Amino acid sequence: SGAHFNPAVTLAVVSAGRGNCPPKEGLMYAATQMVAGLVAGLLCAIFHAAGPNRGKSLAPGPRSGYSPVTAGLVEMFFTFVVAYVVLAVATTKALESWRTKHRFHLGLSIASCMTAGGFAIGGISGGALNPAIALGIATESFHWGSLLTYILWQASGALLAGVCFRITHPEEFKGPNEDESKVETTTF
């Protein structure tokens, strides 16, 4: 499947326009991810219905003292960071000069972005960085207030990552007759 877990990252891979994930395939991944988020939220709601956290809302939205715009901007920025890093490390061509074709840094790079983003903005917006997670959290608490706004901010970050990747990695867009024999593509 290419390890697609985040609809925003899938949108970034599709919007980069290199064919690593065709639009129709990306739409199917994103729909599956959103359904999985919905199901996860419903399961959590069932588990929490009788537990010590019943009635506690974990809905996506700005935390106390922050505006919806501030929360949206930080979600957009860190979703951009995650999506851009995925594009830069997981979908790029391996260089001929590399001593190994293994890409051990992928998981560490992406997980570090998620961790840094969560710690940096968790107290501002909740740090979802993933529309499927935001949907799951909203479903769990049955509180849909800021969900669409969050998804739009996160999608904006993903689209911006795709645009920036096009600008910063022009060598990834060379045609088949432009020295393709010296590179190997790894998709994530």
List the pLDDT tens digit at each of the 188 positions of the chain: 567 789 999 999 999 988 888 999 999 999 999 999 999 999 988 888 887 877 777 778 889 999 999 999 999 999 999 999 999 988 887 777 767 767 778 888 999 999 999 999 999 999 899 999 999 999 988 877 788 888 999 999 999 999 999 999 998 887 665 554 444 445 54
Q: What is the predicted pLDDT for the residue at 184? A: 46
Q: What is the predicted pLDDT for the residue at 177? A: 59
Per the confidence metrics, is the pTM higher than 0.75?
yes
- Residue 151 exposed, middle or buried by CB count within 10 Å (0-12, 13-18, 19+): buried
Decide: 166 and 173 in contact? Cβ < 8 Å.
Answer: yes
Q: What is the predicted pLDDT for the residue at 179? A: 52
Q: Return the ∠ at Cα 34 (arms to 51 and 31), rounded to 5°.
A: 155
* Amino acid at the residue 33: Q
DSSP 45-87: HHHHTSSTTTT----SSPPTT--HHHHHHHHHHHHHHHHHHHH
Q: What is the predicted pLDDT for the residue at 181? A: 45
CA distance 137 to 149: 14
Q: What φ, ψ does residue 79 adopt, rounded to 5°?
A: -65, -40
